[in-house]
A and B are shown apart, each in its own frame.
Chain A
């Protein structure tokens, strides 16, 4: 398969923070409408990899192509690019001084130049889909963690992205709130959204991913379909990691 059949294509992506090399020559392909899950211990480079894909971090070497456009070059309009790539963070990062509706409409209005009426209509429709239209005029601190994270996902969707990056979005949630967020991600996957998720939810990864990549110390150690990675991992390190996760789950 050539690079251009892929919606997202990384070649030799390397990222350093000072002397610390956090990504060593990552190669990764994501086909359109597919979901790729990144698994691995904290500090393995999952978050950094996602941040490189929407240029929140500059890569030190290698190329990233998204939707046929090489984004690691110099003449890239980062603001335009980021409207096409939504990212959701572990800590929601909603804007606390704005209502839910203002959070969702900010980027469409200011970055895309859509009128207020139109942006609010679209935002309310999105909020209705996730059952939070009655919270539109509340401030984020009035919402539960799960609700905040769902609003954060809707906020990222409001600019009409073609790719969503989800960075451990359930890690800060109470266990009983994780389900509602994963449900939303599942629905998103069913609509054919291309997604890359960094996650610790192995069960969920197994269910929605078309490909799972195991990262360790800035390298993709093993990748494959979820059945293979979770049932018959080839690499020793993958086995060790999965055994640790399984053990933690039992405790």
Chain B
């Protein structure tokens, strides 16, 4: 027991490794913020494309379906390696900036596929009569989408969307395999230097502290909606 505590919860190693792991964790935070911003926008565009009506939009719809099928079905770790392979093929070098971009692209590709489906579920949950009412007032398809369908759809999918973002935050750790020295990599360095695994616990704590606010925020939104709907039912 003492050995276990020393291996994972040594106070000295905790204090000594924290700055180093934090240094790596800043990279996770950057990746997460930029990837989430990109995913929010790209997934929305893709969801709209998937819902376009008419025969003319068929190739676009098909392309969107192929995209989501591919990137939702491929493990992130493989996507990371594939994107890295592309980067190396083009001799763009292995600067830390290139690595960051590689990780960012892979995360964005995969999570865009997930979030597209979340948005799409939201769009389909808005009753067709809403779109019909908007169109009957003379609004174009895109205007009806923008002012009537999307505001209602997005409000409904915020909880599942935040849930996917929690997943994304944790998955920023996977970029370590392409050689980015983020929190997990730094913890690994520390662990092999000092032969002690406490640094991994430090990294775990960082990740947990990052997701807890998002998880509580999600709960809050769900609770607020439930109380509003109850108020309506009365």
Q: Which residues of A contact B (CB under 8 A)?
A: 54, 56, 79-83, 86-87, 89, 91, 93-97, 106-107, 110-112, 141, 155-156, 159
Contacts and interface: CB of A to CB of B under 8 A. Distances in A.
Contacts of B143: 110-111
B140 A95 contact: no
23 contacts: A54-B136, A79-B139, A79-B140, A80-B138, A89-B133, A93-B133, A94-B133, A96-B152, A97-B152, A97-B155, A106-B137, A106-B147, A107-B137, A107-B139, A110-B139, A110-B147, A111-B137, A111-B139, A111-B140, A112-B138, A156-B136, A159-B137, A159-B138
Interface string B111-140: 000000000000000000110111111111
B138 A95 contact: no
A91 B129 contact: yes
Contact of A111 (B129, B138, B232): B138
Nearest to B152: A97
A93 B129 contact: yes
B148 interface: yes
Contact of A82 (B130, B137, B147, B155): B137
B138 A79 contact: yes
A56 B136 CA distance: 7
Contacts of A106: 134, 137, 139, 147-148
B63 to A, nearest CB: 27
Interface in B124-173: 129-130, 132-140, 143, 147-148, 151-152, 155
Given A79-B140, A97-B155, 20 more contacts: A56-B132, A56-B135, A80-B138, A82-B138, A83-B137, A86-B137, A93-B130, A93-B133, A95-B130, A95-B134, A95-B148, A95-B152, A106-B137, A106-B148, A110-B139, A110-B147, A111-B137, A111-B139, A111-B140, A156-B137
B230 to A, nearest CB: 13
A95 B130 CA distance: 7
B66 to A, nearest CB: 29
- Tell me the interface secondary structure of chain B in the complex: helix
Contacts of B138: 79-83, 107, 111-112, 159
Contacts, number: 59
Contacts of A86: 136-137
Contacts of B132: 56, 89, 93
A176 B130 CA distance: 26
Q: Most A CB atoms within 10 A — which of B136, B147, B148?
A: B136
Contact of A87 (B130, B136, B140, B151): B136
Interface string B81-105: 0000000000000000000000000
Q: Most B CB atoms within 10 A — which of A93, A112, A155?
A: A93
Contacts of B130: 93, 95
Contact of A95 (B133, B136, B155, B232): B133
A222 to B, nearest CB: 29
Contacts of B232: 141
A143 B134 CA distance: 20
A182 B211 CA distance: 55
A123 to B, nearest CB: 13
* A-B interface, 10 closest residue pairs, ranked by CB to CB distance from nearest: A93-B133, A83-B138, A107-B137, A111-B138, A82-B138, A87-B136, A79-B138, A93-B129, A97-B151, A111-B139
